[in-house]
A and B are shown apart, each in its own frame.
Chain A
């Protein structure tokens, strides 16, 4: 299960937060944990360079893209490698929507479109689409080109 997708600005303010299968009372804990993890480790990290950690039986892969930080949390089959695959899809979709690694402003300007992309990529904790071109078409309700 992909337990969480969290996107924050560089100060740690939440921009997008999607939890799956995480009880309400644990979400705050996860949020602060992730934000702290980012604050401790993401300084000086290059765009899309992945950081990784595990906490209890859960894996976390996170990175920087422009002025936003992206965190993915998974367990079981969504281990560090599956998460790195998923985060790659997320970052490329965001870059695609924004045209470049986004500033916070750009990210918020494209917020609706980004939400649609995330909806195509992760659905209730399962990875659904991984191809950025297909995702690009799907958010515009265009059928995929190849099949």
Chain B
């Protein structure tokens, strides 16, 4: 902060600042003049200016200081000096006094609010609304409503803008003003109309119909302010988005209005309309044309803001409708030399999107000249665009790959180099022809790469792709050079890469072994260790033999554990007698913030590990449970439910439960996340009360030793039940733990903790938990082949239901079976319905169900249930579920 804050005083005499050497302490002292019985208005204004200067520089007042100044300032209401009064209004807003202090000025402000002088009123409204709370607001609400429709635009605007702010804190009150606001929307004063429209839309934003009506009436009337017109265009596009695509005549509603706005006299409105049109869902080229035409005109405007806005919009359009933008290419090319580099970069990337295959070479030439004089951040954007272009025109890979390798050799920061390397990697993955040349470019790059991270990543990638090329031996030189020339981290990576070549290419093995043996004398532990490990596991003497698959998996297979979790567990591990157990590392990936997820989704993965093959969750659960000794005797896992949340969103601790069903056991797996950075939880268990689940007996609990902030962990509780009995019940859960305070600066927890508990929602075992959803491809054949031996048929009255479809879904959910052949969908207004279900019941018994529903005029639903299965008792059990 200090870097930019106060002004230096070593300036010329004449330039010296009136605030030279200003200090908070002395200004606060000076503020005592506010208490003088004979007020010196000029002096007081000067002191307030100094206070404002301090506040505007990011200086903060302590609570005591602010209170003191605030109370002193309130005395200034006695002065009749207009200039001073205006300053007083401003400083009160800046000081934002606390609610218990506000009381002292409210009466003065209320007086001003009813003053005959309009500007006193406007300012008093703004100050009051800034400092008010709900109770005071109800007292002044009447005046505010009047103010909204005041004939003086200053007063009306002050009240309306206050309303926009108050809507955040007191929505119910502000919503009561909609009649007045509605009136203000018709105001002749441009700005009042703008503010009123903004407020009215915010009040009604959740009421689609009201917004639609608002838009309909305003688009027909006159809107005076260009700012309001822009808002209206935005609201109109929202209505268009939400309404059905086309009306009966096939025209898009409100399109004519948007198109009309393209001829407005204010550039702001024209642009807003053009952008709204380009963003319409499924916009046609006929609709696009007029918008593109005005944007094209803006491209050659003398105003940089307009050029920027236009090229930015066209850049977006180019992603979806490249052909529509090609007309602008000539104007766009002239923008490459624009002084504003943002505009130039946007122009280049747009051209890269709209260009055709034949123009690629010419374009690349232009870009090469351009690249030398833009900053890294813009270069990255260009590199990304070139990558997309290359994927679009794979035949052009040669010139684009050359371009990338050329810029890779030039000066540049880490992010830029990483973007280039990532692009080359993606091209290698997606364009087989580009592989060999791409790998060689990367090899040359690591010969002279100053970034350890990039070198290691490229070495890893070489290890994966290199052995699969026609002549793997040519890469060895580059890799071994790293062992000789680089730092320890890169050397260790190079050793691993060499070993991969050795493991994958049998003919190279003897020579690789010679190289690896040289690494045994490296002065770094890790490098030596790796070399030793590889030499010992890859096959003894290094003769030309095939490497064992198990060894390959062990050395180069995936860990099957998220690295972040492994890292956290290792950090938490304290060296004791007990060895570190890799199976104790949680496999659940920590949830990412939404924003991160989005960006991760957009970008193709480049150098990181290739996406792991999706393992089924059941497999993962089975592996996890069998690794816990207490549960290892439970036999084959039948089913694992989807996680059921036991806490509300955004609570201190997030817990969900997964129910694992075995033949004679049920295991509850509680996935817990601690969302408080200042806490460490230890000995976390869930205490389960099974008094409403009599057929279950608790047999084992596995506590969670520690639950640090934001690292998910699991605790388990296991129950025994009788085999073959459909036991159901309700379990109440309580989280118990020892909580320890964590010092956020050091991350260390205090030694002593406090026992605490946290109530969770109940969990349930229901009949559907004993059923696996397994579909059949041909229900009729399956039904016939099961035969009528164990068929059970009965009829049930389901009572009055909301609808037939609701009844069908209720039965499907109750049984937990897979609907077949789309029979879960009930046609609208139908009086009867048939539904086919299939599943596997616990004990691996195949079950098929035919349901026939009928509904009468009083919505009473009747159902016929036919069950066929491989076991008589199971058919009976299904009927029992429904009967109960």
Residues of A within 8 A of B (CB): 8-9, 12-18, 27-28, 31-32, 35, 40-41, 49-54, 61, 77, 79-85, 103-105, 108-109, 111-112, 115-116, 119, 123-124, 126-130, 134, 138-144, 147
Contacts and interface: CB of A to CB of B under 8 A. Distances in A.
Given A12-B4, A17-B58, 18 more contacts: A14-B5, A32-B3, A41-B340, A52-B305, A79-B309, A80-B308, A80-B312, A81-B306, A84-B305, A105-B18, A108-B18, A112-B48, A124-B130, A126-B195, A127-B227, A141-B83, A141-B120, A147-B151
A129 B191 contact: yes
B52 interface: yes
Interface of A is mostly: mixed
B230 A82 contact: yes
Interface stretch (B9-17, B169-177, B684-692): B9-17
Contact of B52 (A14, A109, A115): A115
A112 B234 contact: no
A40 B376 CA distance: 13
A15 B18 CA distance: 12
Contacts of B5: 13-14
Contacts of B161: 123, 126, 128
Interface stretch (B267-275, B453-461, B830-838): B267-275
A18 B56 contact: yes
B56 A130 contact: no
A121 to B, nearest CB: 11
Given A128-B157, A134-B154, A14 B340 contact: no
Contacts of A28: 1
A122 B511 CA distance: 73
Interface string B217-228: 000000000110
Contacts, number: 153
A108 B117 contact: no
18 contacts: A17-B57, A31-B4, A52-B305, A79-B309, A80-B309, A81-B230, A81-B309, A82-B227, A105-B18, A109-B18, A112-B45, A112-B87, A119-B93, A123-B161, A128-B161, A129-B191, A141-B83, A141-B120
Interface string B193-211: 0010010000000000000
B53 A111 contact: yes
B272 A115 contact: no
A18 B56 CA distance: 7
Nearest to A18: B56
A73 to B, nearest CB: 14
Contacts of B152: 143-144, 147
Interface in B720-755: none
A40 B342 CA distance: 12
B308 A52 contact: yes
B176 to A, nearest CB: 21
B697 interface: no
Nearest to B158: A128
A53 B198 CA distance: 26
A69 B875 CA distance: 82
B86 interface: yes
A82 to B, nearest CB: 7
B86 A140 contact: yes
Interface of B: 1, 3-8, 14-19, 45-46, 48-49, 52-53, 56-58, 82-83, 85-87, 90, 93, 117-120, 122-123, 126, 130, 151-154, 157-158, 161, 164-165, 189, 191, 195, 198, 226-227, 230-231, 234, 267-268, 271-272, 303-306, 308-309, 312, 340-343, 375
A53 B118 contact: no
A83 B268 CA distance: 10
B218 to A, nearest CB: 16
A130 B151 CA distance: 18
A105 B16 contact: yes
Nearest to A144: B154
Nearest to A32: B4
B56 A141 contact: no
B90 A119 contact: yes
Q: 8 nearest interchain CB pairs?
A: A112-B49, A52-B308, A84-B305, A81-B268, A141-B82, A141-B119, A16-B56, A143-B118
A50 to B, nearest CB: 5
A109 B17 CA distance: 8
A14 B7 CA distance: 8
B227 A85 contact: yes
Nearest to B269: A81
Contact of A50 (B49, B157, B304): B304
B305 A80 contact: yes
A141 B234 contact: no
B271 A115 contact: no
Contacts of B375: 40
A78 B87 CA distance: 28
B595 to A, nearest CB: 10
B58 A14 contact: yes
B305 A14 contact: no
A6 B220 CA distance: 39
Contact of B191 (A84, A103, A130, A143): A130
A82 B119 contact: no
Contacts of B85: 141
Contacts of A14: 4-5, 56-58
Nearest to A111: B49
Contacts of B234: 77
A52 B53 contact: no
Contacts of A111: 18-19, 49, 52-53
A7 to B, nearest CB: 9
Contacts of B126: 123
Nearest to B45: A112
Nearest to B267: A81
Nearest to A104: B15
Nearest to B153: A147
Contacts of B154: 129, 134, 138, 143-144
B82 A140 contact: yes
B90 A129 contact: no
Contacts of B86: 116, 139-141
Nearest to B15: A105
A85 B228 CA distance: 13
B119 A15 contact: no
Given A119-B90, A141-B120, A27 B58 contact: yes
B305 A116 contact: no
B340 A147 contact: no
Given A124-B165, A130-B191, A140-B82, A50 B15 contact: no
B231 A77 contact: yes
B109 to A, nearest CB: 15
A105 to B, nearest CB: 5
Which residue among B119, B122, B227, B305 has the maximum number of chain A CB atoms within 10 Å of its CB?
B305
A108 to B, nearest CB: 5
A143 B83 CA distance: 14
Given A77-B231, A82-B227, A82-B268, A105 B312 contact: no
Contacts of B16: 105
Nearest to A142: B119
Given A81-B272, A81-B305, A143-B154, A108 B57 contact: no
A56 B121 CA distance: 40
Nearest to B46: A112
Contacts of A127: 227
A38 to B, nearest CB: 12
Contacts of B303: 50, 84
A115 B49 contact: yes
Nearest to B83: A140
B374 to A, nearest CB: 11
Given A52-B340, A79-B309, A81-B305, A143 B117 contact: yes
A33 to B, nearest CB: 11
A129 B82 contact: no
A105 B17 contact: yes
Contact of A116 (B46, B87, B189): B87
Given A31-B4, A80-B308, A128-B161, A15 B15 contact: no
B790 to A, nearest CB: 62
Contact of A52 (B19, B195, B304): B304
